[in-house]
């Protein structure tokens, strides 16, 4: 009798496991460049916890918008602003009522050189550097924020000749990391670990100097019938995802 019960239990477990795999889905996610590192972690835990797989593609928010508008089959968008998802919603490319803020990002002026950037960003006024990297403000919200900072500080005209523009904040980081620019405006999440700047020197730009980097997520029209897409958006609101966000300096 015990053997029969064991056999039935094993059969039920196998059926459950097969059913779980059969119902696991894949979701294609367009992710703003600043959110690359945390999203890799979140995707891993999402797969572990739900069985669903998130296929990630990274780029500036502007370039992701262009791809979606031209028919790219992304099902979820994690933007670096709130304007792009709202625009997609108006254009019928996003699912109404699914848009929400998943994070607020922070801008930082960063250099690999330990003492180049001071705690108040006065290095910008001193101008004792060759190149200043920033993301393209036409396509990248972090680039737009950098221009706002320089404008409010009254330094834009004086520093424009030193600009090196990246197509995304990831490329901007590479310019600084490889020494092609002495310093640059990047996302705090890119240079932040264990509660501090991971290397070099940095100035975390005060919030009043630029509009809040409100980063919105939304379900795209091509993902409206995909359970994995809706599951991912729900997962981003959960404790595990938010623990990752906090570890990279994001708030919500």
CATH of the domain at 161: 3.40.190.10
> Minimum mean pLDDT among 16-25, 48-57, 112-121, 199-208: which range?
16-25
Is the same domain home to 100 and 119? no
Tokens, residue 135: 């993301």
Q: How confident is the model at residue 23 (pLDDT cuts 50, 70, 90)?
A: low
Is the same domain home to 132 and 192? yes
Q: How confident is the model at residue 194 (pLDDT cuts 50, 70, 90)?
A: confident
Is the same domain home to 99 and 146? no
Is residue 7 in a domain?
yes
pLDDT surpasses 50 at 104: yes
Contact 32, 80 (CB under 8 A): yes
Is the same domain home to 13 and 72? yes
pLDDT surpasses 70 at 13: no
If you average pLDDT over residues 113-131, what whole number do you get? 97
> Minimum mean pLDDT among 18-32, 78-92, 114-128, 161-175: which range?
18-32
Is the same domain home to 98 and 112? no
Q: Which domain holds residue 61?
A: 2-104+215-247
Count how many domains the chain has: 2
Is the same domain home to 98 and 113? no
Is residue 209 in a domain?
no
pLDDT surpasses 80 at 15: no
Is the same domain home to 238 and 163? no
Residue percentage of the chain with pLDDT more than 70: 91
Is the same domain home to 94 and 170? no
Is the same domain home to 17 and 56? yes
Is the same domain home to 55 and 174? no
Q: Over the chain, what is the mean pLDDT?
A: 93
If you average pLDDT over residues 158-163, what whole number do you get? 98
Is the same domain home to 119 and 151? yes
pLDDT surpasses 70 at 9: no
């Amino acid at each position: 009798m015990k053997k029969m019960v064991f056999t039935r239990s094993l059969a039920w477990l196998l059926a459950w496991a097969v059913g779980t795999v059969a119902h696991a889905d894949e979701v294609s996610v367009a992710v703003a460049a600043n959110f690359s590192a945390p999203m890799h972690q979140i995707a891993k835990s999402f797969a572990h916890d739900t069985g669903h797989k998130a296929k990630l593609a990274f780029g500036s928010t502007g370039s992701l918008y262009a791809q979606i508008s031209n028919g790219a089959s992304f099902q979820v968008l994690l933007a670096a602003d709130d304007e792009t998802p709202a625009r997609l919603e108006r254009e019928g490319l996003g699912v109404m009522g699914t848009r929400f803020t998943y994070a607020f990002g922070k801008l930082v002026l960063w250099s690999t050189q330990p003492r180049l950037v001071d705690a108040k960003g006065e290095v910008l006024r001193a101008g004792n550097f060759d190149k200043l990297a920033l993301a393209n403000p036409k396509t990248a919200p972090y680039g737009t924020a950098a221009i706002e900072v320089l404008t409010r500080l009254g330094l834009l005209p004086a520093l424009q000749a030193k600009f090196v523009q990246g197509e995304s904040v990831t490329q901007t980081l590479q310019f600084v990391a490889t020494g092609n620019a002495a310093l640059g405006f990047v996302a705090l999440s890119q240079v932040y670990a264990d509660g501090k700047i991971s290397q070099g020197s940095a100035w975390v730009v005060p919030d009043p100097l630029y509009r809040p980097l409100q980063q919105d997520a939304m379900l795209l029209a091509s993902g409206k019938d995909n359970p994995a897409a809706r599951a991912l958006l729900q997962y981003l609101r959960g404790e595990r995802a938010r623990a990752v966000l906090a570890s990279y300096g994001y708030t919500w």
